[in-house]
Amino acid sequence: METICSAFRYAAITLRARCRRVGGETRLTTTPIERHDGGMSRHWALYDLRIRTPWLELRVPNERLIDDIIDVALVGIHDPATMPFEFAWTDEPRDELPLNTLQFYWGQLAAFAVDDWHLGMAVLVDGQVVGVQGIGAKHFPLRREVSTGSWLGLRHHGQGIGTEMRSAVLHFAFETLGAEYAISGAWADNAPSLAVSRKLGYRENGVTRKVRRGQVDEQIELRLSRSAWEEHRRDDIEIDGFARCRSSFGLD
Binding footprint of ligand COA on the chain (CB under 6 A): 5, 77-78, 84-85, 149-152, 157-163, 186, 190-193, 195-196, 199
Which residue's beta carbon is nearest to the bound ligand COA? 162
Name the minimum Å distance from CB 212 to ligand COA: 11
CB of 176 to ligand COA, least distance (A): 22
Nearer to ligand COA, 84 or 201 (CB): 84
- Sequence-distant (6+) residues with CB within 8 A of 89 are 8, 9, 11, 12, 97, 100
The one-letter code for the residue type at 105 is Y
Q: Of 89 and 242, which has the nearer Cβ to ligand COA?
A: 89
Return the axis-axis angle of helices 97-111 and 63-75, rounded to nearest 10°. Answer: 140
- Residue 5 CB, shortest distance to ligand COA, in Å, is 5
Choice between 5 and 245, CB closer to ligand COA = 5
Q: Are strands 215-225 and 116-125 parallel, antiparallel or unpaired?
A: unpaired
**Which residues are within 8 A (CB) of 105 and not within 5 positions of it... i.e. 6 or more apart?**
61, 66, 69, 120
Least distance between ligand COA and beta carbon 248 (Å): 26
Q: Beta strands 203-212 and 128-138: pairing type?
A: unpaired
Compare residues 56 and 245 and give the one whose CB is closer to ligand COA.
56
The DSSP-derived string for 75-87 is: H-SS-TT---SSS
